[in-house]
Amino acid sequence: MYYLPLLFVPYKVGDENVVFENNTSSLYDLESTNIKAKIYPNPISVQQTYPAHVQFQLHTGTTVSMEIYNEAGQMVRTFFKNEYFSEGDHIVHVETSRAVKGKYFVKITTKNDAVTLPVLVVE
């Protein structure tokens, strides 16, 4: 059993450890019809003392589910299921100090859309 505490903390200027410009585009900056999402830092070190950040933007208010899956496709953790989020930007801080090395996928799902972000956990 894995214990990954999840903290919902409002975003404040200076919280980020990595600066992304609006014009960046990569495998970890994904957009679908209703969801734009990214995770940083990526890869994640098991030795880092700060949480990983899953940032997503909704074009309309809707219910959202967020889960993490391992490389075998097994669900490791459900962060939240069918919780309502308003239109706009949202950041979820994920404690990673007890994460196990490997490749994972964070899946963010709304009623009409889904985005899956690859995440690599390294030593």
pLDDT of residue 22: 41
85-120: pLDDT as tens digits: 999 999 999 887 778 899 999 999 998 899 999 999
Residues 121, 123: Cα–Cα separation, whole Å: 7
Whether pTM > 0.75 for this model: the answer is no
* Mean pLDDT taken over the chain: 79
Answer yes or no: CATH 2.60.40.2550 is held by domain 27-122. Answer: yes
- List, for the chain, all residue ranges whose pLDDT scores fall below the cut of 50: 1, 17-28
